[in-house]
Amino acid sequence: MKVTTEIISWNETQSESNYSMVTEFIFLGLSNSRELQIFLFVFFFVFYVGIVFGNLLIVLTVSFDSHLHSPMYFLLANLSLIDLSLSSVTAPKMIADFFRKRKVISFKGCLTQIFLLHFFGGSELVILIAMAFDRYVAICKPLHYTTIMCGNVCIGIVSAAWGTGFLHSVSQLAFAVNLPFCGPNEVDSFYCDLPRVIKLACTDTYRLDIMVIANSGVLTVCSFVLLIISYTIILAIILRRPSDRSSKALSTLTAHITVVLLFFGPCIFIYAWPFPIRSLDKFLAVFYSVVTPLLNPVIYTLRNKDMKTAMRRLKK
């Protein structure tokens, strides 16, 4: 293993303190095989372009089409914005890094990636819960829908999403900023995230691992359980009183549930699974960096008649 650590000359006081000596991290990337690299490069490039266009299209369509000015579409547009941001934290760097021999990220860059990843991830989680709540009110309390989901509530939800993302991210990062890094700096992945970066610290990381599981892990598992219960209740209610509107509701719900499974599956495996399989969770991370953010626009728009009509109107 080649040692690529660059150690600045430290004076004695600094090396005695807990100060980190690692100034950059090296990503090992997804694969070393040339053929696989070319394939992955094309795959990620196409997906990322799709993510940018797809999600921007949703945001523009919802913003400019007054027929779509309802809580569900506002939340959807906000979800698209978050998806685009989440993907932009990791994907562009990964794509640019593909053919670099040395995939370097600065220490600060690495912390920034961790911060933004958890910031947008935490916000996405709240938006997904809010979308479930919105469907619950629409389907189970249709008469009260406009009073419950009024403009202020929507703005409150979106603010709560950003607030939660921020608090979640800061509370996790607070533990990582002061970790002593004294040499090992190879991250076996294509982006920085806590479980992997913690492993490189020159200290007993057991408590930090627990902290990540307690924060990210519990948050994802609890939200996931909450969402599954909510959607089960909504589905049960729809199936009990079938009507002509229920088939449309059913297709919206299956779209939501698919997105929830795709988002939480990899997250739970990465943060909450007690016996992580390192080589596998590297590939699972691909899911929430390029697959889920692309599937949202695909799932929500291709199967949604209102959205399709609105896009056609926008084109004119």
Ligand X SMILES: *[C@@H]1O[C@H](CO)[C@@H](O)[C@H](O)[C@H]1NC(C)=O
List interacting residues with ligand X (CB under 6 A): 59, 62-63, 74, 77-78, 81, 154-155, 158
Q: Which two tokens stand for residue 268?
A: 């739970």
- Identify whether the C-beta of residue 266 lies closer than 8 Å to the C-beta of residue 288: yes
Which of 81, 93, 79, 94 shows the shortest CA–CA distance to 52? 81
Residue 302 Cβ, how far from ligand X at the closest point, in Å? Answer: 19
Q: Which is nearer to ligand X, 158 or 310 (CB)?
A: 158
Q: Which is nearer to ligand X, 155 or 302 (CB)?
A: 155
Q: Which is nearer to ligand X, 266 or 297 (CB)?
A: 297
**CA gap 260, 227 in Å, rounded:** 8
Residue 85 Cβ, how far from ligand X at the closest point, in Å? Answer: 11
**Residue whose C-beta lies closest to ligand X:** 77
Q: Which is nearer to ligand X, 127 or 192 (CB)?
A: 127
Helices (H), the chain: 12-16, 34-64, 71-97, 107-140, 145-148, 151-176, 194-198, 206-212, 218-240, 244-271, 278-286, 292-302, 305-315
- Identify whether the C-beta of residue 122 lies closer than 8 Å to the C-beta of residue 219: yes
Q: Which is nearer to ligand X, 233 or 314 (CB)?
A: 314
Residue 245 Cβ, how far from ligand X at the closest point, in Å? Answer: 24
294's CB contacts (< 8 A; 6+ apart) are 47, 50, 51, 54
Residue 40 Cβ, how far from ligand X at the closest point, in Å? Answer: 31
Which of 161, 114, 128 shows the shortest CA–CA distance to 285? 114
Residue 144 Cβ, how far from ligand X at the closest point, in Å? Answer: 18
Residue 36 Cβ, how far from ligand X at the closest point, in Å? Answer: 37
Q: Which is nearer to ligand X, 131 or 192 (CB)?
A: 131
Which of 241, 242, 248, 309 shows the shortest CA–CA distance to 66? 309
